[in-house]
Amino acid sequence: MATKALCFSVSLNDFSNRFGSNPRPISPKVRVFTLRCSTGNGERPWKTSDARLVLADGSIWKAKSFGASGTQVGEVVFNTSLTGYQEILTDPSYAGQFVLMTNPHIGNTGINFDDEESTQCFLAGLVIRSLSISTSNWRCAETLGDYLAERNIMGIYDVDTRAITRRLRQDGSLVGVLSTDNSKTDEELLQTSRSWDIVGIDLISGVSCKSPHEWVDKTKQDWEFNSKGPVEKFHVVAYDFGIKHNILRRLASYGCKITVVPSTWPASETLKLNPDGVLFSNGPGDPSAVPYAVETVKNIVGKVPVFGICMGHQLLGQALGGKTFKMKFGHHGGNHPVRNLRTGHVEISAQNHNYAVDPATLPEGVEVTHINLNDGSCAGLAFPAQRIMSLQYHPEASPGPHDSDYAFREFVELMKRENARSG
Do residue 171 and residue 278 come from a single domain?
Answer: no
Give DSSP secondary structure letters for 231-252. SS-EEEEEEESS--HHHHHHHH
List the one residue out of 359, 354, 361 whose CA is nearest residue 370. 359
- Residue 370: beta bridge partners? 340, 380
CATH assignment at residue 239: 3.40.50.880
Do residue 297 and residue 321 come from a single domain?
Answer: yes
At which of 195, 227, 261 does a domain end? 195
Tens digit of pLDDT for each residue in 313-343? 999 999 999 999 999 999 999 999 999 999 9
Total Cβ atoms within 10 A of residue 135: 15
Q: In the predicted model, is pLDDT for residue 351 greater than 80?
A: yes
Do residue 248 and residue 171 come from a single domain?
Answer: no
CATH assignment at residue 169: 3.50.30.20
Do residue 208 and residue 190 come from a single domain?
Answer: no
Classify residue 43: in a domain, yes or no.
no
At which of 139, 171, 195 does a domain end? 195
Tell how far CA 63 is from the center of its chain.
22
Do residue 217 and residue 174 come from a single domain?
Answer: no
CB 243 within 8 A of CB 305: no
Do residue 303 and residue 190 come from a single domain?
Answer: no
Tally of domains in the chain = 2
pLDDT value of residue 8: 39
Find the mean pLDDT for residues 176-184: 98
pLDDT value of residue 290: 98
Is 142 designated active site?
A: no
Tens digit of pLDDT for each residue in 46-102? 789 999 999 999 999 999 999 999 999 999 999 999 999 999 999 999 999 999 999
**Percent of residues, the chain, with pLDDT higher than 90:** 83
The range of the structural domain enclosing residue 256 comes to 204-422
List the one residue out of 297, 270, 268 whose CA is nearest residue 281. 297
Return the DSSP state at 137.
-
Greater confidence (222 vs 172) lies with: 172
How far apart are the C-alpha atoms of 153 and 409, rounded to whole Å?
Answer: 37
pLDDT value of residue 12: 40
Mean pLDDT estimate for the chain: 90
At which of 161, 195, 229 does a domain end? 195
Is 396 designated active site?
A: yes
Classify residue 26: in a domain, yes or no.
no
- Among 42-46, 198-202, 289-293, the range scoring the smallest mean pLDDT is 42-46
pTM: 0.88
Catalytic option among 121, 256, 310, 378: 310
Do residue 212 and residue 306 come from a single domain?
Answer: yes
Classify residue 75: in a domain, yes or no.
yes
Q: In the predicted model, is pLDDT for residue 260 greater than 50?
A: yes
Do residue 189 and residue 212 come from a single domain?
Answer: no
Cα–Cα–Cα angle for 264, 92, 169, rounded to 5 degrees = 120
Classify residue 292: in a domain, yes or no.
yes
How far apart are the C-alpha atoms of 419 and 405, rounded to whole Å?
Answer: 22
Q: In the predicted model, is pLDDT for residue 26 greater than 60?
A: no
Tens digit of pLDDT for each residue in 261-295? 999 999 999 999 999 999 999 999 999 999 999 99
Do residue 418 and residue 301 come from a single domain?
Answer: yes
Do residue 259 and residue 355 come from a single domain?
Answer: yes
How far apart are the C-alpha atoms of 319 and 122, rounded to whole Å?
Answer: 27
Is 214 designated active site?
A: no
